[in-house]
Amino acid sequence: MAKTLHLEIIATDRVFFKGDVEHLVITAIDGLLGILPGHEPLVTSLPTGELKYMVDGEWHYAAISEGFIQVMPDKAVILADSCELPEEIDIKRAEEARERAEEMMRQKQSIREYYETQAALNRAMNRLKISQKHFK
C-alpha cells in the first residue's frame, strides 16, 4: 500500500495545497478525524477549525473556514471557503473582526443575523487561536 495520499486543498480564492501527505488530521463536526493513506471512501463537512497534515515527517498547520472533504483510498480533496497558514493570518484584522462580532452579538438580532455573526466570531476566534498556537 502506498505510504502517502494525494491531498488537494482548494479555497475559493486560490489553490492552497496540492501534494502528497503521510497523515492528515481534520476537525469534523463531531471532533478530530485522522486520515491515513488507504482510508475508506468518506465524505464529511468541515466546520471552521484547524487542519494539519504531515509532509516528510513534518506537521503543517492551517486555519480553515467551512468546507467539506472527500476522501478516497489514495487521495483527498478539501474544498473550503478560505484556508490560511498561521503566519498568513492578520492578527489585527482577526482581533477587529472578533470585537465587531462580539459587539454585534450584544445587539438584538434576527435569528439569521445571529447565526451570521456567530459564524463570523467563530472564524475570527479560530484564526487567532491557530496563529497564537503555531506562530509566535
Partner 1 sequence: MPNMREIRERIASIQQILKITNAMYLMSSSKLKKARKALDSTEPYFYKLQETIESVLEHTPHTRQLYFDRRSDIPEEKRKKGYIVITADKGLCGSYNHNILKHTEQTLAAAPDIDNCHLFVMGQVGRMYFQRKARNSGAASVDSEFLYTTQNPTIYRAKEIAELVIDKFEKHELDEVYLLYTDMINSNLQEPRTLRLLPFERRHFGKAPDGTMKKLPKASFVPSPEKVMDYLIPNYAKGIIYGAMVEAFCCEQQSRMTAMDAATNSAKDMIKDLSLLYNRARQAAITQEITEVCGGAASLEE
Binding-site ranges for partner 1 (CB under 8 A): 8, 10-15, 28-30, 33, 40-45, 66-68, 70-71, 77, 79, 81-82, 112, 116
Closer residue to partner 1, CB minimum distance, 43 or 132: 43
- Hey, which bits of the chain come out as E strands? 5-11, 15-21, 23-28, 31-35, 42-46, 49-55, 58-72, 75-84
Q: How far is the CB of 58 from partner 1 (least distance, A)?
A: 25
Q: How far is the CB of 57 from partner 1 (least distance, A)?
A: 28
Distance of alpha carbon 47 from the chain centroid: 7
Q: How far is the CB of 27 from partner 1 (least distance, A)?
A: 12
DSSP 39: P
- How far, in Å, CA of 33 to CA of 3, rounded? 18
Closer residue to partner 1, CB minimum distance, 65 or 131: 65
